Amino acid sequence: MSRRALLGAAGIGAVAAGVGGGYALGSSDDPPVKPAEAALPVPFTGRHQAGIVTPAQDRLYLVALDMTSEKRDDLISLLKDWTRAARKLTAGNEIGVYGAVAGSPLGPPEDTGEALGLPPSQLTLTFGFGPSLFEKDGKPRFGLDGRKPEKLTDLPAFSGDQLDPAISHGDLVVQACANDPQVAVHAVRNLVRIAFGRASVRYSQMGFGRTSSTSQAQVTARNMLGFKDGTANIKVEERRSVDEFVWVGPDDGPDWLVDGSYLVTRKINMRIETWDRESLQGQEQIIGRTKGSGGPLSGGDEFATIDLKAKGPDGELAIPEKSHVRLAHPDTNGGVKILRRGYNFVDGSDGLGQLSAGLFFIAYQRDPEQFIRIQKSLAGSQNDLLNEYIVHVSTGVFACPPGVGRTGFVGETLFA
Ligand SMILES: C=CC1=C(C)c2cc3[nH]c(cc4nc(cc5[nH]c(cc1n2)c(C)c5CCC(=O)O)C(CCC(=O)O)=C4C)c(C)c3C=C
Ligand SMILES: [Fe+2]
């Protein structure tokens, strides 16, 4: 039973038109009110996992977990249980047989209940495996000897990194994205609950205001620096780029990961108050684009082609040599592209009255080397001008298996 149907059947919560996606209860003569797109479900099944090229939702709740059991059967049963729950959660249903309120009053409910009455909100749940799932202290785990992708190794140290291991890495990751934060949090909370006795949370991160559009149909959102972010991102409509740069192909190896992707996470703190004292012109020179329209400093509107050779009236490069977009551009990095899918975050204040804010950077790629190549161009005080205002404090790399069909479980190919 769907969360909404349950409430309807119980006679609770006639949801007013315009609220929660416009499910109105009117006269039977009224034309049906279509739920707003942002409230609809995204199919969980498919060749690829949802949540990668899916048009980026507004909210993120990402959790990294470590296995607390060393038993292969526990890992497999966890992935099966997660898959069963994820099918329900992404469809907007309660988990378990009895859900949140229909079970025995004497036991804890199967579903925690905070999403009752909320629509699916385009929830996607994307699962990944960190290098430490495959081996620890040089020893294979879970009978996965020889199954670790060669490319799945911890990212190298980059100049300027100030990484905190407590909020980095993880055996497993779940990226929950939705247009309602409560739906994303409910999903992660219930998946964590299911994992009890087999895996426990290492760290989690909430995000808002997607900083990347992944579809041409989306407007470009802004990051905490106030700039449009995601303009030159790979978009789902660009099929060739998606196949070339996002999905692991049959010749890439290993076979179990074909149609999957590598996820890179970086929590990047911003020195927001320092940035806010930088002049508008200074900010634009650092990024290499205008703050208003997001157009490149070489001229044109937001989606104008960047001209890295263009010079200004003063004879200097229009897009400065150490600007962020020049150093991140494919022409500076051997043609390499990545699919960005990051989110803004504010973790309150730091106790000194400064915002603990930044970008939870997320990228999907066919090979982690794509991210490494670009980050090597950006990192260090002699490179990207932006580095004066940001610091990378967390890192992660995960192999995200292919999608799942109507039967089977996420990651099944790994155990075949
Ligand atoms: C290693 C990859 C990247 C990191 C880390 C990164 C951090 C980061 N970026 C911004 C803001 C912007 N980035 C923009 C473009 C852009 N950034 C990367 C890669 C990383 N960014 C790429 C590949 C690109 C596209 C370059 C191109 O092809 O032109 C932009 C411009 C708008 C856009 O195209 O998206 C902004 C703004 C911040 C604030 C940040 C760390 C906090
Ligand atoms: Fe960037």
- Ligand 1, residue 230: give the atom nearest the CA: 35
- Ligand 1, residue 229: give the atom nearest the CA: 35
Handedness of CA 198, 84, 88, 9 (dihedral sign): negative
CA distance to 72, 150, 152, 207, per residue, from 137 (Å):
18, 17, 16, 33
Tell me the residue ranges of DSSP E strands in 313-366. 339-340, 343-349, 355-365
pLDDT at 20: 35
Tokens of 307: 């001209």
Strands 59-67 and 172-178: antiparallel
In tens, the pLDDT along 155-181 reads 999 999 999 999 999 999 999 999 999
In Å, how far from its chain's centre is CA 186? 16
Q: Which of 287, 325, 326 to mutate to test the pocket of ligand 1 (most atoms within 8 A of CB)?
A: 325
Side chain identity at residue 276, one-letter code = D
CA of 324 to the centre of ligand 2 (A): 7
Interval 123-150 mean pLDDT:
97
Tokens of 31: 């034309």
pLDDT at 211: 82
pLDDT at 5: 57
* Ligand 1 neighbourhood includes 336 CB (under 6 angstroms): no
CA of 325 to the centre of ligand 1 (A): 6
Length of the chain: 416
Instruction: Say how many C-beta atoms besides its own lie within 10 A of residue 365's C-beta.
Output: 26
Confidence of residue 265 (pLDDT cuts 50, 70, 90): very high
CA of 276 to the centre of ligand 2 (A): 18
* Ligand 1 neighbourhood includes 264 CB (under 6 angstroms): no
Side chain identity at residue 293, one-letter code = S
Alpha helices for 121-265 (secondary structure H): 131-134, 181-195, 239-245
Alpha carbons 401 and 18: distance in angstroms, whole number: 38
Tokens of 385: 């001008």
ipTM: 0.99
In tens, the pLDDT along 273-282 reads 999 999 999 9
In tens, the pLDDT along 184-202 reads 999 999 999 999 999 999 9
Interval 83-101 mean pLDDT:
98
Tokens of 262: 């590598």
